[in-house]
Amino acid sequence: MTTILIISGVMLAVAAVLTTFRLIDGPSSLDRLVALDTIVAVAMCGLAVWAAYSGDTTIVPAIVALALVGFIGSVSVARFRVSDR
């Protein structure tokens, strides 16, 4: 089980690095918004992997709160986004 958790952690780290490049180099603000949402999702998955590894369930409310903040942030930015032109 430890091997699976290590592999998933490495894959999440690679995903975070690749998404960071998209966040920095995104041609439009919507591309950057999607990249930021992806980083939030990767962080949530990382917390879930840590919870599975440690057996600690007290981190689950933090995962839910992070999902809520990510959703509200995405909706508000998409709603009031200024045109790129």
Domain boundaries, the chain: 2-79
Please give the pLDDT value at position 65.
Answer: 94
pLDDT higher than 80, residue 66: yes
Higher pLDDT, 41 or 81: 41
Q: Amino acid letter at 51? A: A
Q: Do 19 and 38 meet the contact criterion of CB atoms below 8 Å apart?
A: yes
Cβ burial of 72 (10 Å; 0-12, 13-18, 19+) is exposed
Higher pLDDT, 2 or 41: 41
The pTM of this model reads 0.83
pLDDT higher than 90, residue 27: no
Strand ranges (E), the chain: none
| Cα dihedral across residues 42, 44, 45, 51: positive or negative | positive
Please give the pLDDT value at position 85.
Answer: 63
pLDDT higher than 90, residue 63: yes
Contacts of 83 (CB under 8 A, 6+ apart): none
